[in-house]
């Protein structure tokens, strides 16, 4: 399966992304500072948890949702497409 980042590089304009049902988030990912896992959500309802279960990411290119057990035990690594403020 092709990742949406391969279809639409970071400089792809919004109108071209919408034709492929891709939102404004280029990479929806976070790092768990407990186990070191870097996890990424690849589509709208792709709920992913780290190895130790401390954090979860969800939303793909459409929204950023985080779940975590302890504040300060994860790092945000998400990036938006270039045309998003």
Give the three-state DSSP class for 15.
helix
Stretches in the chain below the pLDDT threshold 50: none
Q: Are 28 and 64 in contact (CB under 8 A)?
A: yes
- Give the position of tokens 């976070």: 30
pTM of the model: 0.90
Question: What are the residue boundaries of the structural domains of the chain, listed by start?
Answer: 4-80
Which residues, 6+ apart, have CB-to-CB distance to 76 below 8 Å? 30, 66
- Residue 85 pLDDT: 83
- Residue 64 pLDDT: 97
- Residue 82 pLDDT: 97
d(CA 83, CA 44): 20
Mean of the per-residue pLDDT values for the chain? 95
- Residue 3 pLDDT: 86
The radius of gyration of the chain from alpha carbons, rounded to an integer in Å, stands at: 13
């Amino acid at each position: 399966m092709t990742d949406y980042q391969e279809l639409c590089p970071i400089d792809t304009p919004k109108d071209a992304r919408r034709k492929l049902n891709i939102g404004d988030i280029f990479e929806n990912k976070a790092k768990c500072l407990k186990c070191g896992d870097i996890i990424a959500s690849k589509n709208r309802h792709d709920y992913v948890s780290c190895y130790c279960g401390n954090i979860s990411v969800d939303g793909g290119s459409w929204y950023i949702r985080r779940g975590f057990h302890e504040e300060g035990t994860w790092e945000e690594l998400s990036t938006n497409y270039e045309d998003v403020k």
